Amino acid sequence: MKESEIIFKAVELLKSKGLDKVDVAIVLGSGLGPLADGVREIFRIKYNEIEGFPVSTVEGHEGVLIYGELEGKRVLVYKGRFHYYEGYSTRQATLPLRILKPLNARVLILTNAAGGVVPSMKPGDIMLIRDHINLIPDNPLRGPNLEEFGPRFPSMHDAYDEELRRLAKKCAVEEGIFIREGVYVALQGPSLETPSEYLFVKVIGGDAVGMSTAPEVIVARHMGIKVLAFSIITNVANPYAPSLATHEEVLQVANEAGRKLEKLIRRVIRSL
């Protein structure tokens, strides 16, 4: 089945289950699934029940799409995402986001767990992503352009919407939540970074490093959807005094800090 057929067939399926509009779409990263529990559900569907969708294989990524109401807005929540390191191309990994264009979604909120490279960072900090450096050796727009979704050469100068970032910072102050702002560097994974790779990320201008998000932002901007994105800093790397970080520790910190991020995202959605 062609990409466009998969996309429009998925849209028809979701509409048949009661989806009428999407004000905000949200992608939940590692350990951040509990945010979905606050959604007043209209329906949920597993990714593997949607023909042509990839299947999530990573712990902490449940693999379900939830549609409902949150803070007075209609939301579509991706509880779990797909990654290049799972064996998918970034085009395959971002295919589920393509349904947002025919559904006329205007805003996409992305979350992830990331390793910090700034010494003043602490595990559990929330970083508002200002920009990214994509070092995943693939681009989700590689191959034939989907003309009905966006231009061949989309601009990325405003990848992370400035107006939405201002709103997020205002909401953080109102909620009494400390947030940082920085640059996210996307690497392919799944191995965690070496001390020299952490140092490289810092030298090229990164503040945090992870294995997702950048391809999703590229696809969203290709479709003209505004993006707001947050990283939960799960560990802080000192290249000169490296320490072991495990996926289990990442999930634990993300779960704990996720409650703060949930509160902030709710405030942002309410304020849109």
CA 49 to chain centre: 22
Asked if 238 is an active-site residue, the reply is no
> Is 196 designated active site?
no
The single residue of 83, 84, 220, 222 carrying the catalytic annotation is 83
Number of Cβ within a 10 Å radius of residue 137: 9
Could you confirm whether 222 is annotated as catalytic? Answer: no
- Annotated catalytic, 208? no
Q: Distance between CA 132 and CA 160 in Å, rounded?
A: 9
Whether residue 159 lies in the annotated active site: no
Please pick, among 30, 112, 134, 231, the residue that the annotation labels catalytic.
Answer: 30
User: Which among 56, 112, 235, 255 is annotated as catalytic?
Assistant: 235
- Catalytic residue, chosen from 71, 86, 197, 262, is 86
Omega before 195 within 30 of 0, i.e. cis: no
- Residue 263 carries which side chain, given as an amino acid letter? K
Q: Annotated catalytic residue: which of 10, 113, 214, 254?
A: 113
Does residue 191 have an active-site annotation? Answer: no
Separation between Cα atoms, residue 215 and residue 220, nearest integer Å = 9
Task: Give the Cα separation of 78 and 217 in Å (integer).
Answer: 14
Tokens coding 64: 């379900």
Three-state DSSP at 50 gives coil
Write down the catalytic residue from 61, 186, 214, 231: 61
Q: Which of 85, 89, 139, 145 is catalytic?
A: 85
Q: Give the torsion sign (CA, 10, 12, 16, 20).
A: positive
Can 113 be counted among the known catalytic residues?
A: yes
What are the Cα distances from residue 43, in Å, to 68, 82, 96, 97, 153? Answer: 7, 21, 17, 18, 36
Catalytic-role residue among 168, 211, 214, 220: 211
Does the annotation mark 85 as catalytic? yes
Angle at 74 between CA 258 and CA 10, to 5 degrees: 95
- Catalytic residue at 211? yes
* Residue 36 and residue 79 in contact, taking contact as beta carbons nearer than 8 Å: yes
Report the candidate in 134, 155, 152, 156 with the shortest Cα–Cα distance to residue 144: 152
Q: Is 249 a catalytic residue?
A: no
Which residues are identified as catalytic?
Answer: 30, 61, 83, 85-86, 113, 211-212, 235, 247
